[in-house]
Structure 1
């Protein structure tokens, strides 16, 4: 497959879960039944490292929030864009705020590849407006604190007038031990953030990351989806926790999704992506990632979607909410997605979804490329839903598109 702006996903792998069809169905799409996804900005980064700024090495793994025009949001937009008039035609349809991991060139005496959170502002169709010249959330200055080594892989959710940022707090200790925990920060204006520390409850019993809050409570419960690092890598799965408050205490209910193994890889695992998109009636469209190890030790990450029906939520069986899953919607292909420049021991090809929003019927997926860039893609929401509705009504069972993936992913 060649590099181009519009990527039609043909013969990709689709995995469908449903109440009607038990287990896993894998589909091979054809040219008459294709789902089109468009890489934006000609496939080039919308945010990348600035050698003259604090984020001088890498920018990656963004989360996004769309602020439509309203009296309250207009005040937020004014605060973000102090030099722009709210009457500027550029702001007619509101703005999108993107929070990303920024990493400076290593500073002597500080940990290598130490992340902070940067902030940029765009129009909803991703025309650049402003990039803040400082991080809005930084790691602690205390070497023993929970996020001294980095504030990583943040996801943002708005609940009422409060913004909640869940992130991975990472610290290593002098004796070689380390902690990876789900942490939280809150804000009223998107610029000033108050850290609340590791989230309360039992979700951090294991090393944990890739956490996101649902924007609405379900049956009185606030919902967090997270990815405990329990067991071997192929056991790493998405779990669900509940609380009476967005700030906890959180009670883990168990796993809702684990990776489906493809024969190309020796290990695969999953983790949550961005805040799920509310389709109404307690149904959400959620993106997530699959990570994979090849026998060589190299890794591939691709992006997927799932439909989550919380009308079927059962605390004892949280997996019942997963209506269907569509795998490999987006996979690494371009120069900004393959052969990561990050100092990994083995090759990394990576698309890593952390942010999304809906605008004029399309889903804008904001994602990290190759652990080094912030990229964007667009797909039509109704096309995605329609494809899976058709597949749910089918009794056909097809094989994995193994030859296609092997041709695409196998690299020297």
Structure 2
């Protein structure tokens, strides 16, 4: 049984007057730190902050953004953050939007509230070039053609839904990425390796080997919440978009030692837009999961609803794993 609740809405503060959604979350004991996307009156995005207790009640909320737009590559938006802690370092990945290109940037720090922006981590390669170097199914070429047609020849590869696994595996960082219409995973030793040469070699040599969750039907799938480590495997909560552009929340279980190995995947979505506040908003019919917390057996999945507000879905973690195993 899944229990849904609306937990956060916009305020009259300028930076979030048009909506709040897609929260990155970090659990600290009985509390949840929520970094959420906020839309201003000019439709630019920044990141707001709220603190929740274990009952998912808001006990603290900032009146100003906690992460602002500082650089030209993010002048129109810092969006959709995901938060993980690997060893003693926090990593916040977010979409940097300049009004045309959507790239993935990241920030790090030993203190969640004192982070340093590190810049762009995703490819800065035009789709027209991607088409030449990509070795993969035709559906990837079709997606590149679609972006070129809709935006122009100089559009860069759009990078969203990128985040790390919360621990190294066999000594390496593992990162979930999205080359539409599927979800892929790559690994690397350190962040100095990540540059355009890395991405070109990845596109050229490894794309087929990096696919982990394919879009079986509908429009596409994309990463949602950072993976949750369980005794049965890595629990992956992702979004799946059907042919009617309805965003659902779906789940899969990956092997602990080799996350490219899918143990199981639910055939049907875990949950879908059913409430009015999920079906009506800036983008209707969207449940877009981006963060989690676990209190005993209660799994809390935090998500953006209709690109306008934030909800939580609560369910039994053991019950979910039983369905997957």
SS state of the match for residue 50, structure 1? coil
Equivalent of 1:331, from 267, 272, 275?
272
* Structure 1 match to 2:35: 99
**What are the ranges of 5 or more consecutive residues in structure 2 without an aligned counterpart?**
131-156
Aligned residues: 284
Q: Which has the larger radius of gyration?
A: 1
Residue number among 309, 315, 320 corresponding to 1:373 in the alignment: 309
Asked if structure 2 preserves the Cα contact closer than 8 Å seen for 1:200 and 1:247, the reply is no
Q: 2:64 matched to 1:134?
A: yes
- Secondary structure of 1:209's counterpart equals coil
Bigger fraction of residues in helix: 2
**Structure 2 CA distance, aligned partners of 1:153 and 1:226?**
14
Matches within 5 A, 1:246-325: 248-249=193-194, 252=202, 253=206, 254-261=210-217, 267-280=218-231, 283-294=233-244, 299-312=245-258, 318=260, 321-325=261-265
Correspondence list, 1:103-122, <5 A: 103-106=39-42, 113-122=43-52
What TM-score do you get using the length of structure 1 for normalisation? 0.65
Contact 1:119 1:136 in 2 (8 A): yes
Pick one of 266, 273, 291 that aligns with 1:355. 291
Q: Which residue in the other structure is 2:77 paired with?
A: 150
CA RMSD in angstroms, aligned pairs only: 2.1
- Secondary structure of the residue that 1:383 maps to in structure 2? helix
Normalising by structure 2, report the TM-score.
0.81
SS at match of 1:216: coil
**Consecutive unaligned residues in structure 1, runs of 5 or more:** 1-35, 69-93, 107-112, 173-177, 230-235, 262-266, 390-412
Alignment pair present for 1:237 and 2:237: no
- Does residue 66 in structure 1 map to residue 30 in structure 2? no
- Shift in Å, 1:310: 3.5
Deviations 1:316-335 (A, max 9, x none): xx3xx211112311100111
- Distance in 2 of aligned mates of 1:203 and 1:361: 44
Contact 1:199–1:248 (CA under 8 A) maintained in structure 2: no
Cα distance in 2 for partners of 1:311, 1:387 equals: 21
Q: Which residue of 2 aligns with 1:198?
A: 120
Structure 1 residues 135 and 179 mapped into 2: Cα distance closer, same or farther (>3 Å)?
A: same
Aligned mates of 2:27, 2:68 — CA distance in 1:
23
Q: 1:246 to 1:277 in 2, by over 3 A?
A: farther
SS for the counterpart of 1:165 is strand
Give CA deviations for 1:47-90 in whole Å, capped at 9, x if unaligned: 1110145311100001111112xxxxxxxxxxxxxxxxxxxxxx
SS in 1 for 2:253: strand
